[in-house]
Amino acid sequence: MEALTLTDEEAARLVQLGEPEMFGVLVERYEEKLLRYGRRFLSKSEDIEDIVQDVFMSAYENIQDFDTHARFSPWIYRIAHNAFVNKLGKSVRDRLRLIDLDTLLSHPAYEDPDIERREWKEVGKMIDKALAEVAPKYREVLVLYYLEELPYKEIADVLSVPQSTVGVRLKRGKEALKRAYEQLERDHGTH
Amino acid sequence: MEHTKDTIKENILHKIKENKLSMRPRAYFLLRMVLVALLGLVILLVSVFLFNLIFFSMRVSGHAHLMSYGPSGIAIFLRLFPWPLLIVDVLLLMLLEHLLRRFRFAYKQPILYFFFAILALAISVGLLIDRSSDVNDRMLRHADVNDLPGPFNNFYEGARRLPPPEFRVR
């Protein structure tokens, strides 16, 4: 089967059946995405390449746990997310993983592609300058949505939270991003 | 960047080829799933048992009737309620919820919704067992002659505990 015509899920299935070279196809497809995700999420000069390599190694070790009826993208993003969160350090990891109000209750947030498209340009400009100033909990959804362009459902699977929580964090993340951006603009304006 | 891409892919494929990187077998994940399911089932059964014991305790001691004696009756009921059992039960269900949160059917719901769903399940089954069968009454008769294993004698005899002296009729 031509590797180019294979879906991610088909490639993963072939790996599971004993064709490890097919894993190279998946590495090629996701390497740049995960490197970009890592650089934006960690936002420091971490050794992103080493972490991403570890992510792929972990993905290969656990490939038999992947359900080929589900999408591969959120599965590998989840492994990457967990690796990046671990890199952030214990205190941040604890803040991200402890029960928080976003996940306790349902929230009336929904995905509106028209609104999101209008805001994309504005948010994109702010992300370039101010993303590092935003708390990791909101940074991760901003990166996954605006930079990795994952839909709410897949972000929910990556973060293991309800879809409504994704909406809430995205809304709050945009607000935090805007505040950080405006603060940076003010700071630069005074220099 | 191209060099980096080739390096990562090459490193991974090289490790696979040299058997320095291998897949965990499917059986490992199946076994893990079975163990998680078993642990979850044990926790749920213990929780159901504890709720069953709470309902039995209120019935056999007559404390449930205190609720019909107005505010003072309710106050005494709350004083006599087996709060330690309820606290242990809630903690067990929180543990169960945490255990199941890795699965999509659990995390796609807000935490409190899922928690209250399994709480309602445990309460319902516990109440059903007490009210629709005589298993608790039979266990109490066995406990009266110390015929139950381990701590079960204490569980059932404790369910029929007398109220503190200040609440008894003189």
Whether the per-residue pLDDT at B75 is higher than 70: the answer is: yes
pLDDT at A191: 42
A110 and A72: one domain?
A: no
A46 and A72: one domain?
A: yes
* Distance of alpha carbon B26 from alpha carbon A16, whole angstroms: 9
Closest CA to B12 of A75, A112, A52: A52
Q: What is the largest CA-CA distance in chain A?
A: 61
CA distance to partner chain A, nearest, from residue B46 (Å): 24
A65 and A77: one domain?
A: yes
Q: What's at A140, amino acid-wise?
A: E
Please tell me whether the interface predicted TM-score (ipTM) of this complex is above 0.85: no
CB contact under 8 A, B12 and A27: yes
A82 and A109: one domain?
A: no
Q: Taking CA B89 as the corner, what is the angle to CA B87 and CA B94, rounded to the nearest 5 degrees? A: 95
Measured from the Cβ of residue A100, the count of other Cβ atoms closer than 10 Å reads 14
Q: pLDDT per residue over A86-121, tens digit each?
A: 887 755 655 555 556 666 666 665 566 666 666 777
Mean pLDDT computed over every residue of chain B = 85
Q: pLDDT per residue over B13-45, tens digit each?
A: 999 999 999 999 999 999 999 999 999 999 999
A174 and A189: one domain?
A: yes
* Distance of alpha carbon B132 from alpha carbon B127, whole angstroms: 8
CB contact under 8 A, A64 and B28: yes
Q: Where does a domain end: A53, A80, A98?
A: A98
pLDDT at B17: 93
pLDDT at B101: 81
A115 and A78: one domain?
A: no
Locate the DSSP E strands across A12-134: none
Q: Where does a domain end: A42, A63, A98?
A: A98
CB contact under 8 A, A28 and B21: no
* Distance of alpha carbon B99 from alpha carbon B44, whole angstroms: 12
Instruction: Output the six-digit token pair for A166.
Output: 């994704």
Whether the per-residue pLDDT at B159 is higher than 80: the answer is: no
A119 and A172: one domain?
A: yes
CB contact under 8 A, A157 and B104: yes
DSSP A144: I
A94 and A7: one domain?
A: yes
CB contact under 8 A, A28 and B5: yes
A105 and A130: one domain?
A: yes
Contact (CB, 8 A) for A51 and A36: no
Q: Where does a domain end: A41, A73, A98?
A: A98
CATH number, domain at A5? Answer: 1.10.1740.10
pLDDT at B141: 87
DSSP B20: S
Find chain A residues with C-beta within 8 A of B8's C-beta. 27, 31, 49, 52-53, 56
pLDDT at A120: 74
Domain limits for position A2: 1-98
Identify which has the larger pLDDT, A119 or B123. Answer: B123
A138 and A181: one domain?
A: yes
Identify which has the larger pLDDT, B140 or B124. Answer: B124
A45 and A117: one domain?
A: no
Domains held by chain A: number: 2
* Distance of alpha carbon B7 from alpha carbon B39, whole angstroms: 43
Rg (CA), chain A: 18
Q: pLDDT per residue over B94-121, tens digit each?
A: 888 888 887 877 788 788 888 888 899 9
pLDDT at A184: 85
Identify which has the larger pLDDT, B152 or A75. Answer: A75
Closest CA to B62 of B137, B140, B163: B163
CATH number, domain at A157? Answer: 1.10.10.10
Q: pLDDT per residue over A43-99, tens digit each?
A: 665 689 999 999 999 999 999 999 999 999 999 999 999 999 888 775 565 555 555
A77 and A88: one domain?
A: yes
Instruction: Output the six-digit token pair for B92.
Output: 């067990």
Whether the per-residue pLDDT at B67 is higher than 60: the answer is: yes
Find chain A residues with C-beta within 8 A of B18's C-beta. none
pLDDT at B1: 47
Alpha-carbon distance values, A59 to A9, A72, A114, A147 (Å): 13, 11, 35, 22
Instruction: Output the six-digit token pair for A48.
Output: 């992103």
Find chain B residues with C-beta within 8 A of A164's C-beta. 110
> Which of A14, A53, A100 best probes binding to B when mutated, by most B CB atoms within 10 angstroms?
A53
